[in-house]
Chain A
Amino acid sequence: MTDTTGPLVAADGTPLKRKLAQAMFRSRARAFGLVFPLVAFVIAAFIIPIVALLWQSVHDPRFANLMPLTTIELAKWDAVSPPTEAMAAAVVADMIVAKKNKTIGRVATRVNREVSGARSLFTKSGRSAATLEAPFMEALIAKDKKWENIKIWEGMKIASKVYNPGYLASALDMRYTADGSIVRQEEDRRIHIMLFARTMEISLIVTIACFVLGYPIAYLLSTLTTRTSNLLLILVLLPFWTSLLVRTTAWIAMLQAQGVMNDLFVVFGIATDTDRFSLIYNKTGTLIAMTHILLPFMILPLYSVMKTIPVSYVRAAKSMGATNWTAFWRVYFPQSVPGIGAGALLVFILAIGYYITPALVGGQDGQMISNIIDFHMRKSLNWNLAAALGLVLLVFVMFLFWLYDRLVGIDNMKLG
């Protein structure tokens, strides 16, 4: 008999828990060994770069590293009283070093983000910094009148913050000021919120369009014999096997003013030859092309869920006196909801980060938030702002995901 009060022991007297752990060790070690390459790859290629990039949205040590003395002096300044001689002396000393190290251009770019026109001021003053003599404030102003302007000093103070909320604020159409407060951006400079809203709008419309178009197709696929449905599935999947670029370009050929669709409209008298529809290089083009490209992502989860709904449910409903519509709406549709949830979430999340298609066919009003992120990554080279925009997008998607989990439940979702 084993002692019922103490821990269970194995036949040789060692505690059963430890014995079990020993017995399981080999299989656990093997399981871990098998997934280790993937884990390592995901961490190295996915998690670390993303975290590093997103970190830039709040962390910007460039100015502080290149202008260390100025940074110390600026930290003492309250951003209200006039700039002091000590600050000017620090600026001149830092500029001499920066000029020698050829880093003055980077400082100029950084401050220019806060105050436009600062670039030329810094490059110009940097060139003659070594010749300046005390008192440095007068000397700077004598070189360039702009040093008189307090906005330049405010801009430097903002740029000197290593942990800087300015980029996130900017991503949300707000502004971080030198005195540490966050205020709304001026009316004519608000752009990101509008872009986020448009991204939401386009994603939502695309999701709804995919659902409306995809549901009947998925239903058809699930009711046909395996042979026929496999054949049709290939048609659904065909776009997957074609390059995204090719598909988008094909839509350009289809939808442009002298394209196939407009030609047909003219033939059937829907449009006149001189007044053709503008179906591309605008929001309409983005919507049409994205709906087409994302449709399979809606159809596949729907199909895999519908395939598992036995025909006997609808039959049972009909045998109990339900009309075709009642049987569908009360019995079939609720059971297909997990597929709708999975498909809609998949399409929506993919759509929200869509980039190539809007870039190619979006024109002006079909641009989405990812296009502006791309602009900051490649054109303006403001990676910090790009990271901040990406972070906002990520947080928003996470929020949607959480909301979905609360409303529908993740375990209610079927992808395959």
Chain B
Amino acid sequence: MGVGFGQVLAVSNLYLIFFLRDVSAELRCCKSTQHLLQNAYECVWVSVRPRLQTAKKIDDQGESDLSTVSKEDGFVVFDHVQKSYDGEQLVVKDLNLYIAKGEFLTMLGPSGSGKTTCLMMLAGFETATHGDILLGGKPINNIPPHKRGIGMVFQNYALFPHMTVGENLSFPLEVRKQGKSEREENVKRALDMVQMGDFINRRPAQLSGGQQQRIALARSLVFEPDLVLMDEPLGALDKQLREHMQYEIKHLHERLGVTVVYVTHDQSEALTMSDRVAVFDDGIIQQLAPPDDLYERPENAFVAQFIGENNTLKATVTGIKDGIASVDYGRGTKGEALAVNCGDVGSTTTLSIRPERVEIGKKSGPNAVDANVLELIYLGDHIRCRMEVLGDDQFVVKVPNSHGHKHLVVGETTKVSWSSEDCRALDA
């Protein structure tokens, strides 16, 4: 309120200027729209070019098993890190995370889960309330951001609007006091790396979103950091371009061997690019695993629900034998499930079944139950079928559109079944 009134007063003194500015802004707006159209379709995948000179490629044979990265050989280590902004709530609760050199690790989670805070602590823009962050074995808690030597890509790209593309890339080299010829060489090489060599004299505002994204990528890599942080870098792009850039970033990572810590809330992005994904929720890493493990072997109900599509059923454990839990759905229906993270006999559990693992029509087996078809959605390669199963009317089954698949009708009652291994008994 205070702002508005004061501004009105200030502005009223020169409303003529204001008018002139508006007119010229409108003119500029027309120009930039034109430009956008020109550049809309420039993103074409070009074959991979020679990599950066000093970059090291990961040796395929020598790639270590990432599930056993220990605190000692971690390149980036979060050691019992906690973070609170207000002294009342912990945004990050006792984080222990070891990232190997050359790894592509994604922090995935809903907003407010603490993933960006972790990234900002690593970059040095936030300080940890408790615990140590180590980079290459050395604690970096007290090192200011500009001495950490970490490359970073921001969500809005943060390309300096008053500098050309070349000046933007030259900036980190200038502050490192590189010579002019060396700088020019490095800038050119980094631009070629993202196929943007022809755009060196453009201003960021003259580039499309995808082009700006590449420049931001090149700028974070031009000073050859060992670690690059990316904070939802593809969030502002449209779907097609986003998928394209995912591959491009993945290929760059493979070629350069740089360690990447990537933050996103988009699970397909995480699954596409990462060596390992850390699923964050409520300030805690819920699961840290390679993408396939994450989808196929979720360890708790949150991960199962967050990654991919999932059917959940509530049940009570009645017995556990050889890793298989017998469960009671109530109303006299019984079944079997893989005992992953359920409690002892008598405790309730959440069962997770992927929609594509449900079979239709089979009447026998340990997990065969009645289902009532509620809705059918034709999606080309498969048909999405919403059913009522065991009192849950959000149970989804994907029926592949293969030759001779079963044709369902809304209102029809049928049998659905799944194998015990595909039904994971998780925490309640």
Contacts and interface: CB of A to CB of B under 8 A. Distances in A.
A and B bind: yes
Given A310-B158, A416-B7, A321 B146 contact: yes
Interface residues of B, number: 45
Interface stretch (A173-181, A323-331, A364-372): A323-331
A350 B125 CA distance: 41
A410 B23 CA distance: 10
Most buried by B among A315, A316, A323, A346: A316
A410 B17 CA distance: 8
Nearest to B159: A316
Interface string A302-323: 0010000010110111111111
Contacts of A411: 21, 24-25, 28
Interface residues of A, number: 40
A301 interface: yes
A20 to B, nearest CB: 19
B7 A300 contact: yes
A154 to B, nearest CB: 43
B17 A413 contact: yes
Contact of A415 (B2, B14, B175): B14
Interface string B17-34: 110110011001000000
A237 B14 contact: no
Contacts of B10: 296-297, 300-301, 346, 415-416
B17 A313 contact: no
B3 interface: yes
Contact of B24 (A233, A324, A410): A410
A415 B17 contact: yes
A237 B2 contact: yes
Interface in B212-269: 219-220, 223, 229
Contacts of B123: 315, 319
Contacts of A319: 123-124, 145-146, 148, 150-152, 220, 229
A60 to B, nearest CB: 30
A321 B17 CA distance: 40
Contact of B223 (A300, A301, A320, A331): A320
Interface in B187-217: none
A350 B13 contact: yes
B264 to A, nearest CB: 17
Contacts of B139: none
Contacts of B3: 230, 233
Contacts of B147: 321
Contacts of B176: 321
A335 interface: yes
B161 A240 contact: no
A234 interface: yes
Contacts of A327: 146
A394 to B, nearest CB: 13
Given A230-B3, A416-B7, A349 B14 contact: yes
A312 B156 contact: yes
27 contacts: A230-B1, A230-B3, A300-B7, A300-B10, A301-B10, A313-B158, A313-B160, A315-B154, A316-B160, A317-B160, A318-B146, A319-B145, A319-B148, A320-B146, A320-B171, A321-B223, A322-B175, A334-B162, A335-B162, A345-B14, A345-B17, A350-B13, A410-B17, A410-B21, A410-B24, A413-B21, A415-B7
Interface of A: 230, 233-234, 236-237, 240, 296-297, 300-301, 304, 310, 312-313, 315-324, 326-327, 330-331, 334-335, 345-346, 349-350, 401, 410-411, 413, 415-416
